[in-house]
């Protein structure tokens, strides 16, 4: 956060204690990160954001590895380095590989590295992030490969992390 465009919330600044506890509860060792400190400039935003992203991160049936794959690809497409740096270790911990993560940085990923589900998730992510509109055949393939619940969760993950990356990039986090 070297050139952040809004003054981050500081320890000791006013904040509802329950909100602070909820946000700290989502972070390793309860340590707030840069985005948290900016979100705390608006308590309603921080509360809703924390609830939504907490559910995407912890309550979806779509595998964490697939969710983190989506998050990394969104970070690349939107040039959100902070997002990449936060989610890269989580992707590796969830079962992803360095080789796949590196491949995500290419405009056209090396299809040989990814399985059918991953390739379809990447197609969804690319289309939704760059065009907003997603081809019906991509959704149909996801339905077949993952089922409707995980398809909906994949689309929601792409949408949520596009929100995250756009917030990060706009405020230069």
Residue 2 lies in a domain: no
Residue 4 lies in a domain: no
Query: Which range of residues forms the domain containing residue 29?
Result: 17-58
Closest among 129, 127, 128 to 166, alpha carbons compared = 129
Q: Contact, 125 vs 74, CB < 8 A?
A: yes
Global pTM reads 0.93
Residue 39 lies in a domain: yes
Residues 105, 40, single domain; the answer is: no
User: Mind giving me the DSSP string for 63-109?
Assistant: -HHHHHHHHHHHHHHTT-HHHHHHHHHHHHHTT--HHHHHHTTSSS-
Residues 34, 70, single domain; the answer is: no
Residues 29, 97, single domain; the answer is: no
Taking only the tens of pLDDT, the chain with its 173 residues reads: 457 899 999 999 999 999 999 999 988 899 999 999 999 999 999 999 999 999 999 999 999 999 999 999 999 999 999 999 999 999 999 999 999 999 999 989 999 999 999 999 999 999 999 999 999 999 999 999 999 999 999 999 999 999 999 999 999 98
What's the rounded Cα separation, in Å, for the pair 111 and 65?
17
């Amino acid at each position: 956060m070297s050139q952040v465009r809004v003054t981050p919330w500081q320890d000791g600044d006013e904040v509802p204690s329950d909100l602070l506890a909820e946000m700290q509860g989502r972070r390793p060792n309860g340590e707030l990160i840069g985005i948290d400190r900016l979100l705390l400039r608006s308590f309603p935003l921080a509360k809703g954001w924390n609830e939504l992203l907490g559910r995407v991160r912890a309550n979806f049936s779509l595998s964490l590895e697939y969710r983190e794959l989506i998050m990394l690809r969104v970070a690349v497409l939107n040039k959100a380095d902070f997002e990449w740096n936060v989610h890269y270790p989580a992707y590796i911990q969830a079962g992803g590989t360095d080789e796949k993560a590196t491949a995500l940085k290419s405009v056209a990923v090396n299809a040989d590295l990814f399985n059918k589900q991953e390739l379809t998730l990447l197609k969804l992510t690319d289309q939704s992030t760059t065009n907003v509109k997603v081809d019906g055949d991509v959704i149909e393939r996801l339905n077949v490969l993952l089922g409707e619940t995980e398809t909906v969760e994949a689309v929601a993950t792409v949408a949520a992390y596009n929100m995250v990356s756009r917030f990060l990039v706009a405020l230069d986090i």
